[in-house]
Amino acid sequence: MSTNSPYADLILHWYDHHQRILPWRAKKGEAPNPYHVLLSEIMLQQTQVATVIPYFNRFIQDFPTICDLAKASLDHVMSLWTGLGYYSRARNLHQCAQQIVDQGGNIPTTINELKKLSGIGDYTAAAIYSIGFNQPAVPVDGNVERITARLFAIKESLPAIKPKLASLAKMLNQGQAAQERPGDFAQGLFDIGATICKPKNPLCLLCPLSAVCKACLDNIANDLPKRSPKAAKPIKYGISFFIQGSNNNVLFHKRPMKGVLAGTWQLPSTSWEEKVWDLPAGLKQMGYTGDWEYIGDINHVFTHFILKISLYKPIIFQDSPINAEGYAWYNLSQLDKYPCSSLMKKAIDCCL
């Protein structure tokens, strides 16, 4: 296939003048660090650049190499991940590092080998291959889907047309320039998607692709890609208990390793149900007794439901759940050593 594509030259020329400076990105003329690329790509899954930057820097500080990451305890990795969300990514990343070290310590250099690693799928394998090793591939993420849908004015709805957009996107890097600079080409697509071809109010006047973009020419870029309507989010309810012991320690409970917020520590809580709890029912499920004082409510939005938690603290705590599996007393000043969700940080803030 030697068809020349006009897209790569335009993207690379724009990238040479407007690329973003990012901590995992090789400077001009320098070779990329595949470990930095791998780590950043895992963190960037469904997560914005500005959110990832401080997490990436803390990881590189604590784990300068993939071997350091593989040797680290899962608790260390999980606690550094606190607040970043989608916590299975952290466990898969840790496992991925161990798989790589077990295979000799070098990150695989083919897409098929990369995809065998935990937490690495089609997109991330292509991203590491193109950006980390400068090999020709088009990593198809949300940015690339959006750019592609607009370039060709595809009017059908996501997610049904994911395969169609992926197959169109894979033709974008035809031409000599993209074959010579696959990493810059891929990152150019991401930077254009993030700063120009935005989901809302795209800046077509500044876009290097405007002259070859069908949606721009038809003035419908802002309306593409279309998406099928999403199901409404149910509201779930729960009660959490703020129980302080001696030395200002607070009772925590570790969530199961599967499901929502897997493996993170939380205040002892009832199950989350699509009905409002009353306090007696909550106490009964927990096995607690005595009188409790209402502290307040917090709301938290997950991908698939909205959670409303009511917080209570005991007037006098007389039960002894510390004997139960998965419970521990932690001083709040030491909590950063343990993985904890943003939901639970919100709950604790409400109690102080």
31, 194, 257, 324: residue in contact with DNA (rule CB under 7 A):
194
101, 166, 171, 262: residue in contact with DNA (rule CB under 7 A):
262
C-alpha–C-alpha distance, residues 268 and 314, integer Å? 12
Handedness of CA 258, 261, 264, 265 (dihedral sign): negative
Of 138-146, 235-243, 283-291, 308-316, the segment contacting DNA by CB under 7 A is: 138-146
Under the binding rule (CB under 7 A), the answer on residue 74 touching DNA is no
Under the binding rule (CB under 7 A), the answer on residue 99 touching DNA is no
SS (H, E, C) the chain: CCCCCHHHHHHHHHHHHHCCCCCCCCCCCCCCCHHHHHHHHHHHCCCCHHHHHHHHHHHHHHCCCHHHHHHCCHHHHHHHHCCCCCCHHHHHHHHHHHHHHHCCCCCCCCHHHHHCCCCCCHHHHHHHHHHHHCCCCCCCCHHHHHHHHHHCCCCCEECCCHHHHHHHHCCCCCCHHHHHCHHHHHHHHHHHHHHCCCCCCCCHHHCCCHHHCHHHHCCCHHHCCEECCCCCCCEEEEEEECCECHHHEEEEEECCCCCCCCCCEECCECCCECCCCCHHHHHHHHCCCCCEEEEEEEEEECCCCEEEEEEEEECCCCCCHHHCCCEEEEEHHHHHHCCECHHHHHHHHHHC
- What is the size of the binding site for DNA (CB under 7 A)? 56
36, 94, 146, 236: residue in contact with DNA (rule CB under 7 A):
146
Which of the following is catalytic: 41, 113, 274, 293? 41
Q: Is 145 a catalytic residue?
A: no
Under the binding rule (CB under 7 A), the answer on residue 41 touching DNA is yes
Under the binding rule (CB under 7 A), the answer on residue 272 touching DNA is no
Under the binding rule (CB under 7 A), the answer on residue 58 touching DNA is no
Q: How far is the CB of 105 from DNA (least distance, A)?
A: 20
3, 61, 112, 201: residue in contact with DNA (rule CB under 7 A):
201
Site string for DNA, 207-246 (x = CB under 7 A): --------------------x-xx----------------
Q: How far is the CB of 290 from DNA (least distance, A)?
A: 30
Q: How far is the CB of 212 from DNA (least distance, A)?
A: 21
Residue 92 or 134: which CB sits closer to DNA? Answer: 92
C-alpha–C-alpha distance, residues 89 and 92, integer Å? 5
148, 269, 310, 341: residue in contact with DNA (rule CB under 7 A):
341
Q: How far is the CB of 232 from DNA (least distance, A)?
A: 7
Under the binding rule (CB under 7 A), the answer on residue 122 touching DNA is yes
Under the binding rule (CB under 7 A), the answer on residue 191 touching DNA is yes
Catalogue the active-site residues: 41
Residues of the shown chain interacting with DNA in the complex, contacts defined by CB under 7 A? 22, 25, 40-41, 44-51, 83-88, 92, 118-125, 127, 141-143, 146, 159, 187, 190-191, 193-194, 199-201, 227, 229-230, 259-262, 300-304, 341-343
